Copies of this chain bind each other. A is one copy, B any other.
């Protein structure tokens, strides 16, 4: 048995999680100690599986327990369309929208000179490899609409300039459900620039 008290140790380790302070960590630990038998071992084992089984898909770079990932292995998805995103979580957001049936490519970041992140730190080489296959007709760049995301989109646009593929960027504008009175200035400006005939 380790020297450190198990309750204190669990609180310390839970506190490392984002948004979890001392109070929340303590609450979680005492909740778990009262939870039905099996709750703690199941949670503990499923976290360990994350560390042991999750890796990057060799095709798209998504985090997955299988290689290739379920999305890349799914024969029903459209091979001609690839949506390039910054993070694995972005894939979940697109899937929730239900609008996209193509493939994904995950960069694992965006170009940010201030943070020392350059193009070589992004998962771009395997994107070029995928494009060499010739099946892809359109690359939709869906990086975040911020400075880093825009810089990354520009970079990829130039990178793919010599490749026979259509490169598009996600439309920016005001969110559905936004009241114009409360829309942020940048989104409103983009919505004006990108206005379409009715």
Q: What is A's interface to B at a CB cutoff of 8 Å?
A: 1-2, 5-7, 9-10, 12-14, 16-19, 24, 26-33, 35, 39-51, 53-54, 63-66, 70, 87-89, 92
**A97 smallest CB distance to B (angstroms):** 15
Q: List 9 A-B contacts (CB under 8 A).
A: A5-B66, A5-B70, A6-B65, A7-B50, A13-B46, A17-B31, A40-B47, A41-B48, A41-B51
Q: Do the beta carbons of A6 and B89 come within 8 Å of each other?
A: no
Copies in the complex: 2
CB nearest to A10 among chain B residues: B46
Q: Do the beta carbons of A50 and B40 come within 8 Å of each other?
A: yes
Interface centre among A1, A33, A51, A89 (most CB of B within 10 A): A51
Q: Do the beta carbons of A47 and B88 come within 8 Å of each other?
A: no
